[in-house]
Chain A
Amino acid sequence: MSTRTLISPAQLARPRGKFLYWTAFTAVTVLFTLVFIGPLYWMVISGLKSPQEFAQTPPTLIPDAVHPKNYADAWGVMDLAKLLFNTLYYAFGALAFQLVFDVAAAYSLSKLRPVFGKAILGMMLLTLMIPATVLVVPQYLTVLDVPVVERNLINSPWVIWLPSVTNAFNIFLLKRFFDSIPRELLDAAAIDGASSLRTLRSVVLPLSRPILGVVSIFAVVAVWKDFLWPMLTLPDPGKQTVNVGIYSLAASVSENWLLAALAIASLPTLIIFLIFQRNIMSGLTAGSLKG
């Protein structure tokens, strides 16, 4: 906690300072609540309105009549159970692939240090320099016909899982964390006869819980929020994610159902956020530069 910021504590302690501080604080709190919670509130209550009430002007802030059945209808009509299950399946599959492959790669690059290790890390980091959207077209053509194995991955979960492994940023975060684990610990494990895999499992991973948590949350949220890639690669309505499914049904269902569906689709990531907000916010600035 810093002691001193832009405005001095002495100035704030004066009656005038106190008054201004509390006025500004109240104004900002009310304004922020309106700006950031307001839309969410509007989404939830619009989902509860009847179609007539939704379309009426001026809009009502508190619904005249509450129709919780809209949520059930939206759930059934848009087959949200299926869309949510698909998204969950892709998100946790991507998480599993990233945890296995990216952790192994970061461990190897940090602690086992193979020949060409630096070149490999450099090549991985190079992918961060290429604008992601530029690669969408060649990546799409690649998953249409994956070289060597000659498989078409469209509409299969692999099309989400395997590319999610190519997250150079996560590998870099993990490697930086592993770098900070003292060499002596690993040497001690080696003297006890532990293999590299055993060392990773019994020494490195237990020490890395914080960074694994951050990487996991980011991995799940990234799949949950992605739009363009799943839209291109999962055209089958039965295989779509919540984002794409709701988007493609948006024009064909009534508006109060659509808003109910949006509220349902927002719930999982909001819950993740409220539970893990501390980890998410520290992860966001993890290892970031000092200004």
Chain B
Amino acid sequence: MSAPTLSKRKARPSAPTDSRAARPEPGAFRQALKRNLTAHAFLIGALLCFSLFSWYPMVREFILAFQKTENGETVWAGWSNLTYIFNDPAFWQAWRNTLLFTALALVLGFAVPFAIALILNEFRHGRGYLRLLVYLPVMLPPVASVLLFKYFYDPGYGLFNRILESVGLPGQAWLQDTDTAMLSVVVAATWMNMGGATLIYLAALQSIPGELYEAAELDGAGVFRRIWHVTIPQTRLILSLMLLLQIIATMQVFVEPFLLTGGAGPEGATLTVVHLIYQYAFTFNNYGSAAALGLVLLVLLAGFSAAYARLSRAGSED
């Protein structure tokens, strides 16, 4: 229900520690049965919860997408939910906005934490304090951080326009303007969420052997060439994993636009795919279309998830 955490990359069954070779012994069957009963007794709570609240909804998502409710009766709808959403102009607008959000969030939310991690890694003082600062917003309840930004964006008494005016720039309408609404949402979302990524990059940077930088420096490489030829290749795996995670997470953005602009924003400028799912389901009670749109999102993200799983498996086998 919550947004995927940064550490989901560990989603991979660990290698078996030792194989359970069954040795035929007298009474072995009864022992094995007893052992299995105990083991399954320990599993039962989690199994029931997963069945009811994860696995069953997963199956239901697929069924719902091909059903619709007419006069209180649930009937088979075939592909009509899908054709309905494809013909809805909001569908294309939501996808355009979501892709714009993802692109902007990659420029900001991917590059900024990496740059911050690079800078923090150079400091020999106050690192604990700076790390604490960067992670602080992650711990705020989203309502608090988002409503705060709403006040900062206020065209009248908002802090951002005051700052712009104090350096002689014209104030912006921020969330009310179709051109700046999405960017404003991305800036707020980046501020709220980048702490986790920064700390993960910082941990990765600390594992780079110092000799590599030394060697590069002896070869006459400047700071930027050292970043390009040492830092980035050495953190390539983490960078690509975080990139995939970021894409998976940002394509599911909901809370930030919902709280900042009511979801759709000016002329639907911040309407995202997940908000459209929300609208179909909870505004129009059209669960079939909501599920069909969810399925489209699922299919699109499945590719990224699969790439992610492959990469993280390859990475942990090194």
Measuring CB to CB, which residues of chain A are less than 8 angstroms from any residue of chain B?
2-8, 21, 24-25, 28-29, 32-33, 35-37, 39-40, 42-43, 46, 54-59, 100-102, 104-105, 107-109, 112-115, 117-118, 120-125, 127-143, 146-148, 162-163, 165-166, 168-169, 171-173, 175-176, 179, 183, 196, 218, 221-222, 224-229, 232, 242-244, 246-247, 250, 255, 258-259, 262-263, 265-266, 269-270, 272-273, 277, 280-281, 284-291
Contacts and interface: CB of A to CB of B under 8 A. Distances in A.
A8 B217 contact: yes
B133 A127 contact: no
A224 B60 CA distance: 28
B36 interface: yes
Interface string B280-318: 011000010011001101100110011001001001101
Interface of B: 1-14, 16-18, 20, 35-36, 38-40, 42-43, 45-47, 49-50, 52-58, 60-61, 64, 118-123, 125-126, 129-137, 139-145, 147-149, 151-152, 156-157, 159, 162, 191, 196, 199-200, 203-208, 210-211, 213-214, 217, 223, 226-227, 231, 234-239, 241, 248, 251-252, 254-255, 258-259, 274, 277-278, 281-282, 287, 290-291, 294-295, 297-298, 301-302, 305-306, 309, 312, 315-316, 318
Given A227-B255, A291-B204, A163 B1 contact: yes
Contacts of A2: 206, 208, 210
A265 to B, nearest CB: 5
A246 B287 contact: no
Q: Which of B140, B141, B223 has the most CB of A within 10 A?
A: B141
Given A5-B122, A105-B47, A162-B53, A227 B13 contact: no
A128 B308 CA distance: 11
A125 B13 contact: yes
Contacts of A105: 42-43, 45-47
A289 B9 contact: yes
Given A4-B214, A269-B139, A165 B13 contact: no
A216 B16 CA distance: 27
A135 B148 contact: no
Contacts of A58: 162
A143 B60 CA distance: 13
A108 B142 contact: no
Given A7-B223, A179-B14, A266-B144, A141 B287 contact: yes
A139 B57 contact: yes
Contacts of A101: 45-46, 49
A284 B200 contact: yes
A149 B64 CA distance: 21
Contact of B144 (A43, A59, A113, A135): A43
A132 B61 CA distance: 12
